[in-house]
Copies of this chain bind each other. A is one copy, B any other.
């Protein structure tokens, strides 16, 4: 089943059921995605019936327009982001001259993100100061139902209801100072954007093993291929492990979004992956490329995001069809508020 939220002037938008090929949609029997997640056992059969109808086609269906979408949850009660691809963490820390403790390979890194105002998947990334060093981070995220505090890994696995893609926008220039204060990210993590469509795990077929999503995550910058690492490879902590970690001391409520962190693959020789231009799978954020450039040439070559830059994040199935629709955002100076 595929679900999206259309902009309708309300804060939570209007839930629609989208056809598998992302061509058409119909208003869902439940008004918002949060409402569906709040009572998933009741909502899911109704939505599945609608999904069959929308896939059967018909004159009454509306064309599905990703540009009319908000993020599937335009605002959420929780957005937690892990750093499951420890390869990425090690590389980015190298870039800012920080060592990585060995425990990072066994104890998940995780931060609480702001969830009150997500960007839409085709909405510009507002950037007030280019010196903040804006970067994209292409990730996978799952949406959970309620998870009791202390839940084990198996319980955590059963809590996964939906998957999405994420652009976890980061302000690299603000991170070192903020992390040095010891309280984690805050100003360095402005609003994230999610893929136009959220999908149930069964849509992913064999690519989803219940814990990891085994497909390349495609990122382009200004139309050029930037990365296609496989999200199922080098994911040190899988989603059930991340969820159980998050729920160790407190419950998670329905609609909690748990992110994978920036998807990153090592090279075949075990070193950092090569850029796409050099035949590698590339990267899911600029910081990682800059680190590799520094390792190769002594200094970074690629600037962080500039006004007018365009980032596209997508995943396609074995037949080349888009699974989640594409996140496609340009970077823009903020619009002055009235």
Please choose the segment from A59-67, A74-82, A297-305, A315-323 that sits at the chain B interface, where 4 or more of its residues have CB less than 8 A away.
A74-82
Other-chain residue from B126, B184, B334 in contact with A184 (beta carbon distance below 8 A): B184
A249→B174 contact, CB < 8 A:
yes
A149→B334 contact, CB < 8 A:
yes
Chain B residues with Cβ under 8 A from A158's Cβ? none
Distance of A240 Cα from B107 Cα, bound (Å) = 37
A236 touches B (CB below 8 Å): no
Chain B residues with Cβ under 8 A from A306's Cβ? none
Distance of A325 Cα from B307 Cα, bound (Å) = 50
A185→B187 contact, CB < 8 A:
no
Closest residue of chain B to A77, judged by CB? B116
Other-chain residue from B83, B186, B250, B251 in contact with A112 (beta carbon distance below 8 A): B186
B181→A107 contact, CB < 8 A:
yes
B113→A187 contact, CB < 8 A:
no
Interface size on A, residues (CB 8 A): 55
B75→A75 contact, CB < 8 A:
no
What 0/1 readout, one digit per residue, does chain A (168-192) give for beta carbons within 8 Å of chain B? Answer: 0001001000011111111110110
Chain B residues with Cβ under 8 A from A101's Cβ? 180-181
What 0/1 readout, one digit per residue, does chain A (294-338) give for beta carbons within 8 Å of chain B? Answer: 000000000000000000000000000000000000000010010
A43 touches B (CB below 8 Å): no
Other-chain residue from B103, B149, B337 in contact with A128 (beta carbon distance below 8 A): B149
CB distance from A49 to the nearest CB of B (A): 25
Closest residue of chain B to A93, judged by CB? B182
B334→A150 contact, CB < 8 A:
yes
A117→B185 contact, CB < 8 A:
no
Distance of A249 Cα from B132 Cα, bound (Å) = 10
Please choose the segment from A23-31, A252-260, A266-274 that sits at the chain B interface, where 4 or more of its residues have CB less than 8 A away.
A252-260
A110→B77 contact, CB < 8 A:
no
Distance of A111 Cα from B113 Cα, bound (Å) = 9
CB distance from A161 to the nearest CB of B (A): 15
Other-chain residue from B98, B148, B183, B246 in contact with A110 (beta carbon distance below 8 A): B183
Other-chain residue from B171, B250, B253 in contact with A75 (beta carbon distance below 8 A): B253
B112→A184 contact, CB < 8 A:
yes
What 0/1 readout, one digit per residue, does chain A (221-260) give for beta carbons within 8 Å of chain B? Answer: 0000000000000000000000001101111111110000
Please name 28 pairs of A and B residues whose Cβ atoms are closer than 8 Å in the assembled complex, sorted by A: A11-B254, A77-B115, A77-B116, A78-B114, A78-B116, A80-B186, A101-B180, A107-B181, A109-B182, A110-B186, A111-B112, A111-B186, A112-B113, A112-B114, A117-B250, A117-B252, A126-B149, A128-B150, A149-B190, A149-B334, A150-B334, A174-B249, A183-B184, A184-B184, A187-B249, A187-B250, A190-B249, A190-B250
Going nearest first, the 3 A-B pairs with the smallest beta carbon separation are A184-B184, A77-B116, A116-B253
